Structure 1
Amino acid sequence: MQLKVTTVDVADTGVATVTLNRPERGNSWTGRMHAEYRWIMAELERDDRVRVAVLTGAGRTFCVGADTRALSGYVGGDGYDGGLRDEVANPGYGVRPEFDADVSWQLGLRFPLICAVNGACAGIALAMAAYSDIRFGMVDAKITTATAKLAMPVEYGLSWILPRIIGLTHAADVLLSGRILRAQELGDMGFFTKVLGPDEFPGAVTEYAEMLAALSPTALTVTKRQLYDDLLASNPAASVNRSTELIGELMRRPDYGEGVRALVEKRAPRFGRSEEEQ
């Protein structure tokens, strides 16, 4: 696919950076961007080099939500324009049926997804951040659901994911009021892993992504699956028993042997290589 409103770069470290790239329009969301983003993620899923992905926005904005020209066109309609929906890829699908929908498919990706909210973030962009695994926020970034002021309901499953991240009371405040929050306030609620100033932000995101990328890709995928499987379950004993089964499975993998050798030899592990290479 020809990328017109997004970019992607895969570093030697195994970190893929995906950038929403319409800075002249605040990186606002369109059907084209929807199709490109999902195509990119499907390609990254198939790329064995990729261990972690970072999602961010070009310029000083993350994404201001749906393009205002498109919003005007929806007046009197009964739903959003699907854009290139018939042509979109389905990354993250097939892991659990609960993930097989717009935005929530990010939970099904095999690798951790870090959302670097480097500026204004509204509407669908907030949902994309919420359904990421790790979130970093630029200290002065303005963030809002936007829907309350448009006389619209909560979008893209934010009513499911947000209470699980920041708690019911904070989620009710954010969703019912539709007010604009600064990243620091959301950080205090627990939404962001870190909230940083512009001088620290890029380096901190890269450092964290590279830290994850240096870990066992198998363990990262399995741990991500455990997190969301258990989030959808209500049986702690089942979680304990499943983790015991997974321990047995992963101990038979080459990465476990490499991890033990690295610990004994007091060096950094070199994960993802075959036993012959090690």
Structure 2
Amino acid sequence: MIDRLSDDGIDVRVEAGIARITLDRPAAGNAITLPVAMALMRAAIRCETDPSIRCVIMTGRGRLFCAGGDVPTIADAGAGRAPMLAELIGVLHVAIERLSAMPKPLITLINGPAAGAGFSLAMLGDLVLSARSAHFTAAYGAIGLTADGGLSWLLPRLVGLRRAQEIVLTNRRISALEAETIGLVTRVVEDDALAEEGNKLAEQLAGGATRALGAARALLRDSFDTGLEAQLNQEQRSMVLAGGSAECAEGLQAFLAKRPANFKGI
């Protein structure tokens, strides 16, 4: 059974434990307006809180993944631009925080160019598959703005400070192949294989020990902000909690019985 909802430029489909969030303003390059940001926030909350959802895919419809903020809307705000941006970015950041912190893996499928906040959304995935035709641009400096969507946090962690400085300050376009080489994306695939490869990954993750995967996701995310001793303590606490779970019991029983584990049945 497919549970589907279209909401202000965001299409959400849930099937077999996998939620697919599609940025759905193809005529506008899937650019983000306040209604789109609010719809994405609602989708993120749904993915975080719905226990039937075990893995999340995010992608775009049409030629672009996401062009970032909707530039005409920003320009039309005139003297009200600062408060408009405060509201828009505040809502978008709630969505990003939810997608980042949810105890479920996130796959981003980059179907085309990603710029500005679209660049940030692209990198948010635990696994990032990029179509060969896609490319990435920071874009903010060209219109006199600075990074949002977590770009200034994500980019240095993925590619290092020096390379991040060049990407943001020069607005240089990064091809999909270069993005793979420098660690921006997990893997480049042919355009017509992107959806299929993404679905394979999602099915694998949705069939896994999702609570353990969620805890591992949190450990990896937090590791940049903790020292070794603190991280070791967090690993111990996480392992102990996982060790007492039904997932671990099923995994161990399946391993000893030489059968596939049935984590979805828990």
Task: State the partner residue of 1:94.
Answer: none
> Given the alignment, which residue of 203, 207, 214 partners 1:214?
207
How far residue 40 of structure 1 moved from its aligned partner, in angstroms, is 1.2
User: d(CA) in 2 for partners of 1:3 and 1:101?
Assistant: 17
Alpha-carbon deviation of 1:198?
1.2
Corresponding residue SS for 2:191? coil
| Offset, 1:174 | 0.8
- 1:180 to 1:74, Cα distance in 2 relative to 1, 3 A: farther
> Is the contact between residue 40 and residue 95 of structure 2 (CA under 8 Å) also seen in structure 1?
no
Change (3 A) 1:123 1:80: farther
Structure 1 unaligned spans of 5+: 91-99
Do structure 1's residue 199 and structure 2's residue 192 form an aligned pair?
yes
Q: Does 1:10 align with 2:14?
A: yes
How many Å separate the matches in 2 of 1:56 and 1:64? 13
Aligned match of 1:175 in 164, 168, 172? 168
Alignment partners' CA distance in 2, 1:183 and 1:80? 35
Cα distance in 2 for partners of 1:110, 1:134 equals 15
Q: 1:243 aligns with which of 235, 259, 262?
A: 235
The gaps in structure 2 that reach 5 residues or longer are: none
CA offset at residue 84 of structure 1?
A: 7.3
**How many angstroms apart in 2 are the aligned matches of 1:250 and 1:103?**
26
CA distance in 2, matches of 1:136, 1:109: 20
Distance 1:156 1:60 in 2: 21
1-side partners of 2:123 and 2:252: how far apart? 35
Tell me the CA shift for residue 136 of structure 1: 1.2
1:55 to 58, 62, 74: 58
Q: 2:250 aligns with which of 208, 233, 258?
A: 258
Q: Distance in 2 between matches of 1:205 and 1:231?
A: 27
Alpha-carbon distance in 2 for matches of 1:180, 1:43: 34
Q: What is the CA–CA distance in structure 1 between the aligned matches of 2:212 and 2:202, rounded to whole Å?
A: 15
Residue in 1 aligned with 2:76? 73
* Partners of 2:41 and 2:54 in 1: CA distance: 17
Q: Percent identity at matched positions?
A: 27
Cα distance change, pair 187–76 in 1 and its aligned pair in 2 (3 A):
farther
- The change in CA–CA distance for 1:106 and 1:80 in structure 2 (over 3 A counts) is farther
Q: How is 1:1-278 mapped onto 2 (pairs within 5 angstroms)?
A: 3-12=7-16, 14-77=17-80, 79=82, 81=84, 101=94, 103-233=96-226, 235-274=227-266
User: Residues of 2 paired with 1:102 and 1:4: CA distance?
Assistant: 15
Q: Give the partner amino acid of 1:264.
A: L
Assess, with a 3 A threshold, how the Cα gap between structure 1 residues 165 and 140 changes in structure 2: closer, same or farther.
Answer: same
Give, in angstroms, the shift of residue 256 of structure 1. Answer: 0.7
Q: TM-score, normalising length from structure 2? A: 0.89
How many Å separate the matches in 2 of 1:124 and 1:168?
19
| Deviation at residue 215 of structure 1 after TM alignment | 0.9
1:93 match? none
**Partner residue of 1:95?**
none
Worse-superposed segment, 113-122 or 76-85: 76-85
| Partner deviation per Cα, 1:99-147 (whole Å, 9 max, x = no partner) | x756344321221111111001111111112233221111111221111
Name the SS of the counterpart of 1:79 in structure 2: helix
For 1:1-40, what per-residue CA distance to the aligned partner results, in whole angstroms no more than 9, with x for missing partners? Answer: 961311111111x111000111111111111110001101
**How many pairs does the alignment contain?**
261
Equivalent AA in structure 1 for residue 199 of structure 2 = T
